């Protein structure tokens, strides 16, 4: 299939991060040969095609962190890209709502954080002022973040893929990468045959750690589950409403999001998934469960966060428990106002001590760059990450 060709560049994974990287590589090296290798029949089939579709402002991330810098930069690049290619998006702003007195200190910290991260026109709101933005939401204080928006990351990915092909890049679908051996050139074994490349980028989302090989890190899959608000309940949300997140976790909590198609989703939760692509509640993968149990970091994580883990399982298995979380800020919503079901799985890097790695992580072995941790908001930040990775290739 690859006919002994030595490519200048190969990218494993056609999610938004791999595609953004290929896009910038071809921008910098227009004469180069480039292959994108994707195991699925379609691009953007996993995290990129199953996320909340939110364009994040960067309010949450520690100033100076890789996440904060790339989200700020990625936000601008993404908006330029959406405008340039006439792709759909809407900047409608969001509220982060405190419903308990013990959440207000962290809310104020987020406000300061956001300002340090360069966000302008953030507003701290009292309980009454919340009604100016979202008349049906109950809370004791909130931040209004005007920069937040929604888009469709599948459309962005399709546009990136089209540009890559126009510039001579090749996208090989149904091409599962089994092994990468760094070297000059690097050897890439796929189920469809082998190829060689002078430089390789691995952006395989939930499976990047597998291609990285033995390491002190492991990707642990966390399923985010969503329901949709039935009419007329969906009319109670104008834009987006988020809770104050628990600072111990990199997840933002169940939020309400009005999407481009005007449906309003509630989610995502953060349930330990029994397989990296276990999208349904009943899905499991025996081999992946075994690998997870053998990783000391997973056992440490389970020990430290057993109670939260069980609470997430309860919300997954019992819809009234999920609905109770939505009722925190939409008090009178009945359980049967939640309909449908949709899920996405986060690729969350965990270290051997059981710490959930918060920041983006990129590692290099010789001529292979591995994007090991690119969780939310990596869709927003994808163009900044891709540009940075392309710049790092010499
Ligand atoms: C529930 C959920 C909600 C989220 N909400 C948001 C949000 O609102 N805003 C935001 O900015 N971010 C959000 N994110 C995060 C964002 O979706 C991800 O950070 C981003 O999509 C990561 O892109 P990726 O290309 O790294 O991974 P992916 O999209 O997972 O792409 C990886 C690709 O690699 C392929 N692959 C894997 N293994 C191999 C192999 N061995 N050989 C070949 N191909 C392989 C996969 O098939 C896949 O297509 C959310 C994520 C989830 C799960």
Question: Does 37 sit in the ligand 1 pocket, CB within 6 Å?
Answer: yes
| Nearest ligand 1 atom to alpha carbon 17 | 25
* Nearest of 373, 35, 390, 56 to residue 195 by alpha carbon: 35
Question: Does 51 sit in the ligand 1 pocket, CB within 6 Å?
Answer: yes
pLDDT of residue 5: 86
pLDDT in tens, 176-233: 999 999 999 999 999 999 999 999 999 999 999 999 997 789 999 999 999 999 999 9
* Nearest of 131, 126, 155 to residue 16 by alpha carbon: 155
pLDDT of residue 215: 77
Give the chain's radius of gyration (CA, Å): 21
Rounded to the nearest 5°, which phi and psi values hold at 33?
Answer: -95, 135
| 3-class secondary-structure state, position 339 | strand
Q: Which residues contact 391 (CB under 8 A, 6 or more apart)?
A: 24, 28
Question: Does 14 sit in the ligand 1 pocket, CB within 6 Å?
Answer: yes
pLDDT of residue 85: 98
Determine the average pLDDT of the residues in 150-156. Answer: 98
Question: Does 252 sit in the ligand 1 pocket, CB within 6 Å?
Answer: no
pLDDT in tens, 333-370: 999 999 999 999 999 999 999 999 999 999 999 999 99
This prediction's pTM = 0.98
Q: What ranges in the chain are assigned the alpha helix state H?
A: 16-28, 66-84, 104-116, 127-133, 153-166, 208-212, 286-294, 296-304, 306-317, 319-327, 378-392
**Contact 150/168 with Cβ under 8 angstroms?**
no
| Nearest ligand 1 atom to alpha carbon 222 | 53
DSSP string, 129-176: HHHHH-TT---SEEEEETT-EEE-HHHHHHHHHHHHHHTT-EEESS--
The CA-atom distances, in angstroms, between 228 and each of 142, 251, 255, 268 are: 23, 20, 11, 11
| 3-class secondary-structure state, position 300 | helix
**Contact 130/25 with Cβ under 8 angstroms?**
no
Question: Does 12 sit in the ligand 1 pocket, CB within 6 Å?
Answer: yes
- What confidence tier does 63 reach under pLDDT thresholds 50, 70, 90? very high
**Contact 288/275 with Cβ under 8 angstroms?**
yes
**179: number of CA atoms within 13 Å, CB side?**
7
If you search the block for the tokens 């092994």, which residue do you land on? Answer: 179
Q: Which residues contact 76 (CB under 8 A, 6 or more apart)?
A: none
pLDDT in tens, 18-49: 999 999 999 999 999 999 999 999 999 999 99
Q: Taking the alpha carbons of 13, 18, 24, 27 in that order, is the dihedral positive or negative?
A: positive
Helix (H) or strand (E) holding 37: strand 34-37
* Nearest of 224, 253, 270 to residue 51 by alpha carbon: 224
Share of the chain above pLDDT 70, in %: 100
How is residue 118 annotated by DSSP? T
Question: Does 70 sit in the ligand 1 pocket, CB within 6 Å?
Answer: no
| Nearest ligand 1 atom to alpha carbon 381 | 11
Burial group, residue 283, by CB count within 10 angstroms (0-12, 13-18, 19+) = middle
pLDDT in tens, 278-318: 999 999 999 999 999 999 999 999 999 999 999 999 999 99
């Amino acid at each position: 299939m690859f006919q002994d060709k030595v490519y200048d560049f190969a990218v494993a994974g056609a999610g938004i991060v791999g595609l953004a990287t290929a896009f910038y590589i071809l921008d910098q090296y227009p004469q180069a040969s480039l292959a994108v290798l994707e195991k699925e029949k379609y691009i953007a089939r996993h995290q990129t095609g199953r996320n909340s579709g939110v364009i994040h402002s960067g309010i949450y991330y520690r100033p100076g962190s890789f996440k904060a810098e790339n989200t700020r930069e990625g936000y601008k690049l993404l908006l330029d890209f959406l405008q340039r290619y006439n792709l759909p998006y809407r900047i409608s702003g969001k509220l982060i709502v405190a419903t308990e007195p013990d959440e207000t200190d962290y809310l104020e910290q987020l406000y300061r954080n956001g300002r340090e991260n360069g966000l302008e026109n953030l507003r701290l709101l009292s309980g009454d002022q919340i009604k100016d933005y979202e008349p049906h939401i109950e809370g004791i204080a909130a931040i209004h973040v005007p920069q937040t928006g929604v888009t469709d990351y599948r459309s962005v990915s399709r546009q990136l893929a089209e540009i890559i092909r126009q510039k001579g890049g090749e996208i090989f679908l149904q091409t599962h990468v089994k092994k990468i051996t760094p070297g000059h050139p690097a050897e890439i074994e796929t189920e469809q045959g082998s190829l060689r490349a002078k430089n390789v980028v691995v952006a395989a989302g939930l499976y990047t750690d597998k291609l990285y090989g033995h390491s002190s890190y492991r990707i642990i899959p966390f399923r985010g589950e969503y329901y949709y608000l039935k009419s007329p309940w969906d009319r109670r949300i104008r834009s987006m409403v988020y809770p104050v997140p628990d600072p111990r976790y990199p997840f933002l909590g169940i939020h309400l999001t009005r999407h481009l198609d005007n449906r309003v989703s509630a989610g995502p939760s953060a349930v330990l998934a029994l397989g990296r692509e276990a999208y349904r509640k009943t899905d499991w993968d025996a081999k992946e469960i075994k690998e997870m149990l053998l990783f000391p970091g997973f056992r440490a994580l389970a020990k430290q966060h057993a109670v939260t883990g069980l609470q997430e399982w309860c919300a997954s298995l019992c819809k009234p428990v999920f609905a109770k979380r939505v009722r925190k800020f939409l008090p009178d919503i009945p359980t049967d106002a939640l309909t449908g079901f949709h899920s996405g799985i986060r690729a969350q890097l965990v270290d051997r001590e059981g710490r959930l790695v918060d920041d983006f992580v990129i590692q290099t072995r010789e001529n292979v760059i591995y994007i090991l941790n690119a969780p939310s908001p990596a869709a927003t930040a994808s163009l900044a990450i891709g540009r940075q990775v392309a710049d790092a290739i010499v």
